[in-house]
């Protein structure tokens, strides 16, 4: 992403704009997974080709990391899944960090940070 004229645009390695969209705010790409973009009202997700891969519908959003992205609803945070954008963890935390390669993330609850870990069966 690069900021041009007060808005963010997506650029390629040569500095050429990718797609025609621009955004008020963005969160960086993680490992070529969709990035969170803000249209001035809601957050959505864009892939590295500039294609929107979800609607603008989130009050807050962070980019995908290891298959999950933090989203905000009713001033609380949870996670959605990359494969279908379904809710993976309910929005019940004050804040959420990116998921690690080990399947864990820090979540803020009652002003303290806890470790949330997914176990695959």
Contact 29, 35 (CB under 8 A): yes
Q: What is the pLDDT along the chain (121 residues), one digit of tens a residue?
A: 999 999 999 999 999 999 999 999 999 999 889 999 999 999 999 999 999 999 999 999 999 999 999 999 999 999 999 999 999 999 999 999 999 988 899 999 999 999 999 876 5
**Alpha helices, H only, 10-111:** none
pLDDT for res 31? 87
Burial class of residue 108 in the structure, from the number of CB atoms within 10 Å of its CB (0-12 exposed, 13-18 middle, 19+ buried): middle
Cβ atoms < 10 Å from Cβ of 54? 19
pLDDT for res 121? 55
């Amino acid at each position: 992403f690069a900021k041009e004229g007060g808005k963010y645009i997506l650029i390629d390695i040569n500095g050429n704009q990718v797609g025609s969209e621009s955004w008020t705010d963005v969160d960086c790409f993680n490992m070529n997974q969709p990035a969170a973009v803000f249209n001035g009202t809601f957050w959505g997700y864009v892939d590295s080709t500039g294609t929107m891969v979800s609607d603008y519908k989130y009050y807050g959003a962070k980019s995908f990391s290891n298959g999950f992205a933090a989203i905000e609803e009713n001033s609380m945070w949870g996670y959605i899944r990359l494969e279908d954008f379904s809710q993976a963890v309910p929005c019940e935390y004050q804040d959420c960090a990116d998921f690690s390669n080990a399947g864990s993330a820090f979540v803020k609850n009652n002003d303290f940070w806890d470790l949330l870990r997914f176990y695959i069966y």
